[in-house]
Amino acid sequence: MSRIDQALTEFREMDELADLDSPVHRFPASVKLLLTVLYIMTVLSFDKYNLSGLFLMILFPLFFFQLSGIPVSKCFYKLRYVLPLVMAVGILNPLFDRTPLLQLGSLTVSGGWISMLTLMMKGVFSLMASFLLVASSGISAICAALRRMHVPSVIVTLLLLTYRYITLMGEEVSVMTNAYHLRAPEQKGIEYSAWGSFLGQLLLRSMDRADDIYQAMLLRGYDGRFHYVEEKRAGWKQWLTGLLIAALIVLCRYYNVTELLGRLFVR
Amino acid sequence: MIEMKHVSFRYDAGKEILHDISFAVAKGESVGLIGANGAGKSTIMKLLSGILSGEGETLICGTPVSRDNLPEVRRKLGYVLQDSDDQMFMPTVYEDMIFAPRNYGLSKEETEKKVDAVLEQLDLTELKHSRNHKISGGEKRMAAIATILTMEPEVILMDEPTASLDPYNRRLVINTIRALPQTKLITSHDLDMILDTCSRVILIDGGTIIADGRAEEILADKELLEAHRMELPLSLTRRQQ
């Protein structure tokens, strides 16, 4: 299988993950969406030196990954190209921030190292939460939830169609690269000299297919508004559960639970 | 139900693709539109569905196909595209099936009833919540027909409905087409399928109508077909041998 085909399969696998059945999957997408936004905002709001407080926040995605039946490893595997970028965000911090912050025996840990770690953790935790939301809800349910929250239709439609057209473009790339390699078996990739025409053809083919799909939509009454599959409305029990989780997230933000737990054992 | 009166079409200032096309299809009639590649079949389908507009008059159920009337025309018209992947643009069969009814303002309950009825009619109930990329080519073609039927169209246009299907799925699609009571206009190179599903055939070549008559007569006319880069259907070839 070519790398493009593999990427497409992995992309589609996200939809398949959303078809699993678990308490997390059954939870209304709108509540999950709100909780994810709250979680990410909370994680991002932690002080750059608050490593112990932030560390506890990993429990939320870990718990819900476990509950959903989606392996955490799947998340890291699928995000393998993004994670290094996220990790690289604070890589220069140790050079600029040399304030001693922690003494581990003879080793002095500067603020730069701590802030680098917190930045990395913030990025990774946010990605984990976002991944879990998409993998346990599916794009259609998320779009429906966004519409229910009165996010403008244009933005939501754009999101849905972008998601759809990514696979479409991927399919075109796959067809073209396969056709190329069948006639250039000795080459490992696509020769630089062919890049221009390859990209040009890809653009034309993608536009052509996008137009065909748009016509198919028009033929079935599309007037600019998407009618999403209506998810089950969240009942009071689900809202209450959501509120409890939200309260826990906020609690972890304002009380350093790891520190409190530590004090139980160390005086 | 379908009418074209002196329709001509050309892309901008280019060569004329269709020249003075006139024909009418009566209610409940099933007509095959045949011709070699580049004869103008797809252009006729696009003109009928309002994707293209040309000179002359095109009517669907008495409504002229024009920019102002497109929503009304398209409500009465179901178009099964040649490439089912273009037709099935939502993530699941179910989402694709509710697309048209919801766009036409049907309630959730009405839509649900319609979807279930169509799925049962085509024996596709098991596919309801399937992911579009997971189903086979044959299933996708059947699902594409199902997405059209939820609109309850009065007229169905089909562009190569049996293209790239295996014999089993081809037969399934043919039987489904035969069972549909709507007015149908079908373009195809699969002349055996046309013979099986259509009572009348229109042969076009070079953008003009060459012959219009009973399917058994036109499709058995070897000379006529060969003169226009076509061959006798396989079933008739065997009979003539």
| ipTM for the predicted complex | 0.88
Least confident of A213-222, A257-266, B98-107, B165-174: A257-266
Which residues of chain A neighbour B147 with C-beta distances below 8 Å? Answer: 220
Q: Tell me, what's the pLDDT at A231?
A: 67
A111 with A172, same domain: the answer is no
A133 with A257, same domain: the answer is yes
Task: Using DSSP, state whether B90 is helix, strand or coil.
Answer: coil
A266 Cβ neighbours under 8 A, 6+ residues apart: none
A10 with A93, same domain: the answer is yes
* A170 occurs within a structural domain: yes
* A76 occurs within a structural domain: yes
A1 with A77, same domain: the answer is yes
C-alpha–C-alpha distance, residues A256 and B117, integer Å? 57
Sign of the Cα torsion B10, B15, B16, B18 reads negative
| pLDDT band at A219; cut points 50, 70, 90 | very high
A224 with A239, same domain: the answer is no
- The tally of domains found in chain A comes to 2
Contact B89 A222 (CB under 8 A): no
Domain range for A263: 1-137+235-267
Q: Tell me, what's the pLDDT at A1?
A: 66
Which neighbouring-strand residues pair with B184?
B30, B156
- What mean pLDDT comes out for the span A28-33? 92
Q: Tell me, what's the pLDDT at A104?
A: 79
- What mean pLDDT comes out for the span A59-86? 89
Q: A84 in contact with B at a CB cutoff of 8 Å?
A: no
Residues 100-129 of B with CB under 8 A from A: 100, 102-104, 108, 129
Q: A220 in contact with B at a CB cutoff of 8 Å?
A: yes
Q: Tell me, what's the pLDDT at A42?
A: 95
Q: Tell me, what's the pLDDT at A53?
A: 86
Q: Tell me, what's the pLDDT at A267?
A: 61
A119 with A13, same domain: the answer is yes
* A50 occurs within a structural domain: yes
Please tell me what DSSP assigns to residue B92.
B
Q: A224 in contact with B at a CB cutoff of 8 Å?
A: no
- What mean pLDDT comes out for the span A239-261? 88
What are the average pLDDT values for consecutive 10-residue runs of chain B, which has 241 residues?
94 86 95 93 94 92 91 92 89 91 90 93 91 89 93 94 90 93 95 95 95 95 93 80 64
A130 with A163, same domain: the answer is no
Contact A221 B108 (CB under 8 A): no
The nearest alpha carbon in chain A to B82 belongs to: A212
* A143 occurs within a structural domain: no
Domains and CATH numbers, chain B: 2-240 (3.40.50.300)
A116 with A201, same domain: the answer is no
A120 with A245, same domain: the answer is yes
* A244 occurs within a structural domain: yes
Contact B91 A139 (CB under 8 A): yes
A38 with A84, same domain: the answer is yes
Contact B100 A209 (CB under 8 A): no
Q: With 80 as the cut, is the pLDDT of residue A158 above it?
A: yes
* A142 occurs within a structural domain: no
| pLDDT band at A51; cut points 50, 70, 90 | confident
CB pairs under 8 A between A and B: 65
